[in-house]
Structure formats: C-alpha cells, structure tokens
Structure 1
Amino acid sequence: MYKLLLCVRYLRTRYIALASIISVTLGVATMIVVNSVMCGFQHEMHKRLHGILSDIVVEAHSMEGIQDPESLVEEIRDEIGDDLVGMTATVHIPAMLSFKVRGQWMTKQVNLIGIDEKSYANVSEFGKYLLHPENRKQLSFDLHERGYDPRLREAGWAYRRMKVAQERYYEEQMRKLEAASAGESTHETVATATTDEDSGDDLPFNFEIGQDPFLEADEENDARTFDAMTQQHVGIVLGIATSNIRHRASDGEIVDLFLCKPGDDVKVTFPTAGTPPQAVSANFTVCDFYESKMSEYDSTFAFIPIGQLQYLRGMIDPQTGAGAVSSIQIKLKEGADLNAARDSLRERFPAEVFPYRVQTWKDMQGPLLAAVQMETTILNILLFLIIAVAGFGILATFFMIVVEKTRDIGILKSLGATSRGVMSIFLGYGLSLGCVGSGVGMVLGLLFVVNINRVADVLETITGREVFDPTIYYFQEIPTIIQAHTVAWIVAGAMLIAVMASVLPALRAARMHPVEALRYE
C-alpha cells in the first residue's frame, strides 16, 4: 500500500515530471491524429482505386487484345468456381479528346475505355460515381432530358436544344451579313457593267441568275444529315476533371467551371488495332460525368460502349463476328482470397504461354499503395521518436529524484522495505506517468480527430491561409478513420517507453545500502 501512496505523492508534488507528461501527451495525441488522417486517406484512395477496377483483371499484352474472350471467360468460370460473382470485358486505349470552347478547339489526352453498360457496374463501383441518378441505377449512354448534378445547372437534352438553336441563329445572322455584303458588291459591279438583254440565251444552262441548280439535291442531302436538335451521337462518359476547372471564388466557395456539359459533342481520336495502327476519329455526345474524386482518374478517363469501340478500331472478326477485348475483369465474393484466385489463374494461364497477364487490383496499383504505406510508416517512426524523447526526460527526472530521495530510500530500507519494493516504487511512478500522459493524449487526440475539420476552419480564419484545399484533393473535408487497435498500440507503446525509462533509476535506488543512504547529505 505504501508503494501506491508514494507513487501518487510523487506524481502530485514533483512538478518537474509535468514536462515528461506533456511530452508523452503530445506524442500520443499527434500519433493518433496522423494515423487517423492517413487511414482516412488510404481508405478513400482504396475505395476509389477499387471503384474502377474489379477484384482480378486478366489483361492482354498487345493493343489488339484477347482474340477469343468467350472461351477464356468459360475457362475462368470453371477455374474460380463458386467464388465468382461476375465478369465483364473492356477495351482500353490511349486517345485524344477534343471539344470546342468559345470557338477554339481544346485537346486533352485521355484513356478511352469501352465498357458493357449492363455488366460493368456489377463488377466494380463505377455506377456510384456517375452524376445522373438514373445512371447510378443503370448506366445508359443515351442523353437524359434533365436531372443532372446541380453544379451543371443546364445539361441534357434541354441544354442541347438550346445550344443548337443559338448556334443556328448565330450562323443565320452571319449568312445574312455575308449575303448583304455580297449583294452590295454585286450591285456596284452590275451598275458599272454593260450587258446585253439577250445574253441569257448564251448561258449553258436554262436558269435565271440567282437560282441554285443544286437546291433540290441539297434539300435531299439535308434530310439525310445529322440533326443535332433531335439526335445525338454515341454517348460518352467523361471524367469530370477532363472538362472542368475547379477554383475558389472570391467569397471562398469552391466553384466548378465546366468547359463542356452533357449534351455537348466531342471528337475522340484513337489508334486502330491493326499493325501499324492508324489514327481514326469519331464524334460522341457527352451523356454524363464520372467523379471518383481521384484526380488521376477524373482527369484522364472516358467511357464509351465497348461494341462501338471494337467496331471503330477494327477489333471485330468479319467471319465470326466476335470482338477482341483488352481485358476481362472478374468480381469475387466478399471475403474471397484474391491472391489465391490470382495464383490459381496464373497456373492455369502461365504468362510464358498465353498473351495476357493476371493481376489483382492491388497488384495494378502496387507502387502507389506501397508509397502511401511507406509514408505512413516513416511518419509513425518519426512521431514515436517524440515519445522516446519524453522517455529520456523521464529517465533524467527519475535519476534526479533518486538522488534527492536518497535519505528517504535509506529510511524505507531500514524500516524493512525490500530492494524489490523500492524498485517497484519507481517503476510504478514511471507507469503512472505513462498512464496519465497516454490517457490525456488519447483523449486530446480523439477530440482533435472528431473536430479536425472545425479546427481547420478556425485555423483558416486566424491565418487567412488554406489548410486543406479541396481543389487539390477533390475532398470537401479531411477524411479520418479511428481504428481502435491503432489507438491501443500507440497508448501501450507510450506506457512501455515510460516504464522502460524508469528501470535504470529504479535499479539504482534498489541497490542502495540503507546505512550509506542515511549518511548521504
């Protein structure tokens, strides 16, 4: 009992230990905050990376793709068995996206992906990142009348008809101006020229001046031409960052400036599947936007129907009608072992024999995931050094206490206290410092994590500078996830360091001879 009383007394009266407690508190709180934020970022990144990729991807080496995908699908189904949930085929190639902005062409490099609108959302979370609510339920490459994201304001068929009407009105006005200008020039020329009344008989065709001999033919051609007012090209889903500029307005609000919207037509240029490949271009109508909030995806991805891309690239066998594909994406049951399924498929389709490779979604994003994990590990090591510094502070403090309390130690031993009992006093004191510092640090860290976005707003108000810029991360708030086991090992590690720092002073106190301790001045 006396051991506990002495520990509590030392903790309450020795204010020099307060510095060590504060160091432990700050170290624990900082580690909890950093790990929670990094865990939140990793979770969001994993969710978005996995959102566009299925669990396992069988990908062709060449741009010509897998020539017989149907038989490969059957073999995969036999190999995976009951763990299989669904499969879909895709075609992906590099391409150039072009669209007009205020009369000028803007061109961007994109990854063009041909997908099956019925099955692609079943093997990935693609649908949940589309802006139109109907497309989230079931993707359609048809343009909707309206109902798009409020940020788009005007989009869909209503916007398309309005824009086409404006363009036609502008063209009509330009034609009238040109006709008026040409009429004035012709009138001046005719007024100064000398003509014969019967000169019309010498004309090779029997029509009056000003009559268009190809008028009827032009009208027939116009009937067969594309009417943008009532028709659309094949639909395309663009990554939202391919056609918008996100910036902060003067009032501090995040604003999206869209350079093209659902209802606009774009031109896409991409290589054919032949050797050597040739560039082909096709017009598409934007039918929706894809927003995963991953800048790399949102700024480079574009999706069109797989059949259209196969046809334009010449990937359809004219004899069998079968289309080649670039990859087959496989969705497994929840909790299935992805690595085991991958290894099984690799044994069935060795890379030395077959012209494609088998990877999990984590394998495909390995460097990025490894970099984030390495960053988290390094941060934890650096932050744990803060607690280690606090441990050295505890070590120095305890040595001072042992020196100051030498006579007290001698009295305790002369009254019958054992060396183990004296040692346990200082070990208990170190443990109490660790418990108090870790406990307070845990509470402060958790409170900070829960209110981190409010804290960021306060800091922005005080400093006038952006703490977390949504235009960079495409997150409106700082993502955080609190993991109980992470908090537990941080607290346990801090307490362990505090106890270990008190071992040497405790050993010194335990080895003191009571007579020599009583003689100490």
Structure 2
Amino acid sequence: MYKLFLSLRYLRRRRIAFFAIAAVTLCVAMVLIVVSVLGGFLDMIQERSRGLLGDLILDNQSLQGFAWYEEFIDQLKREMPGEVVAATPVIFNYGILRFPDSNITKPVRIVAIRLQEAYEVNDFKRSLFYEKHYPGTTTLAEQQQPVYGWDENGDPSLPPELKAALDNSGWKPPTDTKPDQAEQGGTLGALGPGHYDMPQLSALFAADQLTMRAEELLNRVRGTATDGGSGDSHAPVEAELEALARRCERLREKLEELRPPAGTLERLQDFAAALGRANTAAQGDDAGLALALEEFVEAGRLLTADLYALRRPGYLGDRLPGVIIGLDLLGPPNEKGDYERPWPRGEKVLLTFLPLTRRGVLSGQQAPVKAMRYVDDSRTGVYEIDSLCVYVDFDFVQDVLAMSPQRLTPELGGGLTPARTTQIQIKLAGGLEARRMRDRIQAEWDGFAARLRAETPPGPLDAEIQQLSWVKVETWEERQRQFTDAIKKEKVLVTILFGVVSVVAVVLVGCVFYMIVQEKTRDIGIVKSIGATSLGVAAIFISYGAAVGVVGSALGTTIGCLFVRYINEIQELLIRINPELRVWSREVYVFDRIPDTVKVFDITWIVAVAIAASMLGSVVAAWRAARVWPVEAIRYE
C-alpha cells in the first residue's frame, strides 16, 4: 500500500515530474497523429479502390479492349452462381468536354458503364449527388432538361417526378433558408438540393422587356406626331428598332432551344413580322409608324401571354444522352470547402471522343462530337477521378467508338465482328477469399480463350483472338498494390522515426527520477529502516514511472484525437491566414480531405508502449534507490 501512496504523492508534489509528463504527452500525441493520418490515408485508398473497382477486375491493359465479354460473363454466372454476385463491362477512353455557354474545354477520361449494373458491382451510386436527393431520377438514357416553374398556387416547383423523388428521399430544407432564396447559385432552397434551370422564365422576361421597349418607342412616336415632328426625327427610332431586332433574334434562338408548342412559334413569327413592318414604316410618316408599332406591341403581348402559360414545371429541349460529370470538373470548392454547381441539371454539354480501330490506331473518321445532358455529378473523394472522369452509357459509347459489332467487308468474308469492352468488374459473394477466386476465374478465362482460339479459323478475327491472351484477372488490392505498398512502408518508416525521437521521453523520465532519488536519499533510508524491502522501494519508482506514463498517455491521447478530428478545420484556418500554409494538397495526395479517424487499436498500442517506456525510464532510478543502505543514508543526512 505504501508503494502506491508514495508514488502518487511524488506525482502530485514533485513539480519536476511535470516535465516528464509533458514529454510523454507530446510523444504520444505526435505518434498518434502520424499513425492515424498515414493509416487513414491507406484505409481510404483501399476502401475507395474496392468501392470503385469491385472485387476482381478483368483487363487487357489496352484501350481497344477485348471481345466475347458477354459470353464470358454469362459463363461465369452459369458456372459460379454462388460465388459471382454480379459482373459488368466497362469501356475506358479519352476525350474533350466542352460547356457551350462558357466555351470551357477540359480533357476527360470517358468511362462507359451500365448504370444499374455498376450500382450492383461497386459503390458508384453513393458518389452521385442528384441520385442521393432525387432517388431513381439519374439515368444515362436520352432525356430532356428538367426545369422548374410555378404550380397552381404560384409557388416554385419541380416536375412531379422530381418532387416525388425528393419527398421520398426524406430531405428537409434547412431552417435558416428563406423561400425567396430557392435555387440561387445552387444553394439549398425550397426546391431542394442542387440547381435547376427555368429557361422559359428567361424567354418570358425577354419577350416582356421587348414589348415594354416597343411601348416606350410607340409613346415617343405619338408624342412626336402630336408636336408636329417630321420624318427627319426617325433616325433615333430606326436605331431603336435595330436594337429590338437583335434582341428579337436572340429570343428566337432561345425559344427554338425550348421547343415550345407550334402556336407559340407562330406567335413569335407574327412578332418578328410586325417588327419588320415597323422598320418599313419608319421610312414614312409618323402615323404609319405608330400603327405598325401598335401591331408590334399587340403581337408582343400575345407572345408574352403564350410564354406565361409555359411557366409550369416540366421538361424542355432535345432528347440527348445523359452524362455524369466528376464534381471537380465543374469547378473547385469554395473557401468553406463546399461545391457550387455553376450549371443547372440537364445543361447541354459537348463531348468529343477518340475512336480506335480494332488494331489500336485512331480511326480515320473525324473525331465524333456528341451533345449530351449533364444529369448528375460524382464525388468519389479521389481527386484524380473526380477531376478527370465522366460517365456515359455503355451501349452509346460502344456505337460511337465503333466497339459494337461492325460489318466486315466482302473481301474479309463478310459477317460481323464481336463487340468489345476494355474491362469487366466482378463482385463476389461475401466471405470469399479474393485471391483464390482470382485464380479460379483466371483459369476459367484461359479455358474460355483456348476454346475460342480452337474454334475460330485464321482470318479477319485474328486481332480479336490475339487480344484474348493479354487479359489478366486482378484483385482490387493488386490493382493498387504499387501505391498501397509504398504507403505501408512510409507508415512504418515514419512511425520508427518518431519512435526514435520519442526515446527522448524515456531519457527525460530517467533523468527526472534519478534527480528525485538523489534528493530523497534520506527519505528512502527512513522507509527502508521501518521495514520496506529493496524490491518494494524499487517498485515505488517503477509505479511512479507507470503513473507518469498513464497521465502523459491520457493527455497525449486527448490532444492527438482532438487534433486528428479537427485536422481539416485546422488546415482551413491556416489557409485563411496564408494560402502558402496549405499542407494537404488534393492534387498531390489524391483525396480532397485529410484522414480524420483514430482507431482504437492504434490508441491501445501507443498508450501501452508509452507506459512501458516510462516504466523503462524509471528502472535506473529504481535500481539506485533499491541499493540505498538505511544507516548510510540517515548518517549522511
């Protein structure tokens, strides 16, 4: 009992021990932060790799891909129904993405997927913004642009399908969001998350403004006629009419994109014809000009009334294939780390493809440019993916890149070439060992390819047959092994380096305890003189070291956990002070956030090592105290 009493008394009363506690605290916090960040970085790589690639990947490392993939997928499902849960083909290509309104062009990696199959094989669905808030509305099929409008009550509203999906998602608007803030700059408003456009509102305002300008011009002409003006005063009027003509042309282009009912287009033609008659009348007297302007104003009012009837929410524009865009392609995050979507959902974009022939050379045809609709954006958290990849329908890309079945010329024997893909992603049933399944599926593929080579005579399909021998099966770990192995080695190396630095804490504990023993020689002699054994005296200082380790570890763990938990906020604060203080760059470290999770296992072994090190540092002092002879210690004093 006296051992515990004296060790706790020294811990409370000897202020010099606070230096030892501080050393242990700093070392524990330092090692915990380093291990948590590097370990979290490694875990993020492994988690995202498996989430985006599936369990196994069949790939021939070639952009022109390989054939007979559908037959092999069917064979896998037939031969391994209990092991293979799902499999889907994927095509990779490169191209150029352009936003027509801004003429911004960006190089992209085109990923062709079957969306529903991708949902089954990997975690791609979790990365989609609009699919999260409007479940079931993201599709890569041809579609029009969804636009919001006003419902019967005069409130802003989305099309019924989107509104129902939003209600089913369970999303609730923030309590601090006002209704009049809805859909401004991509904020969360009364309409829900994201940004939807209302181009019919823009056309309505344009027609209304044109009519108002025409009315002002009409009043001026009538005033001139009343004052007895002459035709020479028509020069400013002609300039005004030319400006109205230019604005009318822009309105026509805008309306043609909306594809309104035929009656509305007829109203627009009447509107333009009335403006033409006003231009002609400007060469004559004021009475004729005023009459023509009256017709123009009346046509504008009729057009505005038609456009007002189009204010209902719905779908507008041509039916175009959908494209999912990596979030960082839309723009960088703001100072708060939030992404603002500058383009509304359904915006038209242009995607340029680079088609390859079966033999891997660029096709002789001009690079195809396809108009598509931005239907969703993907944020996987991996910067290299989110800043480069766009996702398009698999069958659509096959046709564009001539990877679908192609008809052979009569000279080559006619017939069709088999369709090609560049990759097959496979999801396995839970509990299966990925490497064992890799070997089984590789053997299955080798047998499948050998049978095709035996059944296919030499001829026009030689290129497809040759590509079969390049196909290899990899696990998601093997696909990222070069990267993950480097991170593992870096984690071990840095932990060792900081462990060596932490030896300072052991030395400091030893020095502090040795000084205490030297100062307390008489007290040690008295304790031994009343019956304490040498082992008991040594145990006092060993317990003292353990107490220092426990207190220092508790403080260090608290500091380390808090630092890791708020490490991203700390970096943002440093960036606000000076942008040069940025430590974690998305471009360098792949992910857009610093890992901020601490594992219980890491806390356990770091605390255990810290306590053991503190006890080790007290061994010399304990040995010195145990050797003290009571008579000599008391006589000395």
1:86 is displaced (CA, Å) by 0.8
Q: Does 1:511 align with 2:627?
A: yes
Cα distance in 1 between the residues matched to 2:631 and 2:535: 18
1:331 aligns with 2:416: no
| Equivalent residue number for residue 54 of structure 2 | 54
Amino acid at match of 2:598: I
Following superposition, the deviation at residue 280 of structure 1 comes to 2.7
Q: 1:115 to 1:241 in 2, by over 3 A?
A: same
Give the alignment of 1:237-316 within 5 angstroms: 237-248=324-335, 254=338, 256=340, 258=342, 262-275=346-359, 276-278=361-363, 280-286=367-373, 287-316=375-404
CA distance in 1, matches of 2:88, 2:199: 32
| Equivalent residue, structure 2, for 1:169 | 249
> What secondary structure sits across from 1:271 in the alignment?
coil
What are the superposed Cα offsets for residues 382-408 of structure 1, whole Å, 9 maximum, x if unpaired?
Answer: 443454221110011122222223333
Residue equivalent to 1:408: 523
Give TM-score scaled by structure 1 length. Answer: 0.76
CA contact (8 A) 1:41 1:480 kept: no
Hey, what does 2:119 align to over in structure 1?
Answer: 121
Contact 2:84 2:427 (C-alpha < 8 Å) held by counterparts? yes
1:394 aligned to 2:521? no
Using the TM superposition, give the Cα deviation of residue 496 of structure 1 relative to its aligned residue in structure 2, in angstroms.
Answer: 0.7
Match of 1:497 among 613, 626, 630: 613
Unaligned runs of 5+ in 1: 185-227
Counterparts of residues 57-76 of structure 1 (less than 5 Å): 57-76=57-76
The one-letter amino acid of 1:115's match is I
| Aligned AA (1:393) | L
Alignment of 1:429-508 (within 5 A): 429-449=544-564, 459=573, 463=577, 472=586, 480-508=596-624
Partner of 1:109: 107
Shift, 1:18, TM fit:
0.7
Segment of structure 1 superposing worse, 471-480 or 488-497: 471-480
**1:459-516 CA-partner distances (Å, limit 9, x unpaired):** 5699576987999589897652232221111111110110111112222332344454
Q: Which segment is superposed worse, 123-132 or 461-470?
A: 461-470
Amino acid at match of 1:114: A
1:76-114 per-position Cα deviation (integer Å, ceiling 9, x unaligned): 336654232211111112223334354xx4432211111
Tell me the distance in 2 between the aligned counterparts of 1:309 and 1:272. Answer: 12
- Tell me the amino acid that sits aligned with residue 128 of structure 1: R
Q: Is the 8 A contact 2:64 2:358 kept in 1?
A: yes
CA 1:289–1:254: 2 relative to 1, 3 Å: closer
Which residue number in structure 2 is paired with residue 145 of structure 1? 146
Alpha-carbon deviation of 1:38?
4.7
Measured at CA, do residues 77 and 513 of structure 1 come closer, stay the same or move farther in structure 2, by a change above 3 Å?
farther
Deviation at 1:258, TM superposition (A): 3.0
* Correspondence for 1:77: 77
Please state if 1:342 is matched with 2:438. yes
259-268 or 329-338, which deviates more: 259-268
Residues in 1 aligned to 2:526 and 2:57: alpha-carbon distance in whole angstroms: 75
Q: Distance between the aligned counterparts of 2:418 and 2:136, measured in 1? A: 29
Query: For 2:18 and 2:117, how far apart are their aligned partners in 1?
Result: 62
State the alpha-carbon separation in 2 of the partners of residues 408 and 516 from structure 1.
12
CA distance in 2, matches of 1:444, 1:307: 54
Cα distance, 1:157–1:494 mapped onto 2, change above 3 Å: closer
Cα deviation 1:222-261 (Å, max 9, x = unaligned): xxxxxx964233222221222334444xxx6856363786
The alpha-carbon distance between structure 1 residues 415 and 230, as it changes in their structure 2 partners (threshold 3 A), is closer
Change (3 A) 1:29 1:63: closer
Say which SS state the counterpart of residue 91 (structure 1) adopts. strand
Aligned CA distance change for structure 1 residues 23 and 168 (closer, same or farther; 3 Å): farther
Q: Give the direction of change, closer, same or farther, for the CA distance of 1:450–1:23 in structure 2 (3 Å limit).
A: same
Q: 1:231 aligns with which of 305, 315, 318?
A: 318
Question: Which range moves more in the overlay, 27-36 or 86-95?
Answer: 27-36
**AA partner of residue 343 (structure 1):** D
Report which stretch shifted further, 18-27 or 160-169. 160-169
Change (3 A) 1:266 1:355: same
Compute the displacement of 1:306 (Å).
1.2
Which residue number in structure 2 is paired with residue 207 of structure 1? none
Instruction: Give, in angstroms, the shift of residue 264 of structure 1.
Output: 1.2
Q: 1:10 to 1:426 in 2, by over 3 A?
A: same
Contact persistence 2:383–2:592 (CA under 8 A): no
SS at match of 1:273: coil
Which deviates more from structure 2 when the two are superposed, residues 56-65 or residues 256-265? Answer: 256-265
CA distance in 2, matches of 1:126, 1:368: 21
Measured after TM superposition, the shift of residue 138 of structure 1 is: 6.3
The letter of the residue matching 1:126 is: F
> Residue 340 and residue 235 in structure 1: after superposition, are their counterparts in 2 closer, same or farther (change >3 A)?
same
TM-score relative to the length of structure 2: 0.63
**1:115-156 C-alpha deviation (Å, 9 max, x unpaired):** 113312111111222232377536412345146996647999
The 1:475–1:160 alpha-carbon spacing in structure 2 relative to 1, beyond 3 Å, is farther
Distance in 1 (alpha carbons) for counterparts of 2:424 and 2:439 = 16
CA distance in 1 between partners of 2:69 and 2:11 (Å): 73
- Relative to structure 1, the CA distance from residue 116 to residue 241 in structure 2 (aligned partners, 3 Å threshold; closer, same or farther) is same
8 Å CA contact 1:63, 1:93 repeated in 2 = yes
Name stretches of at least 5 consecutive residues in structure 2 with no aligned partner: 148-157, 167-182, 207-246, 254-271, 281-314, 408-414, 450-466
Tell me the secondary structure at the aligned position of residue 441 of structure 1: helix
Asked if the contact 2:196/2:345 (under 8 Å) is kept, the reply is: no
- Alpha-carbon RMSD across the aligned residues, in angstroms, is 4.2
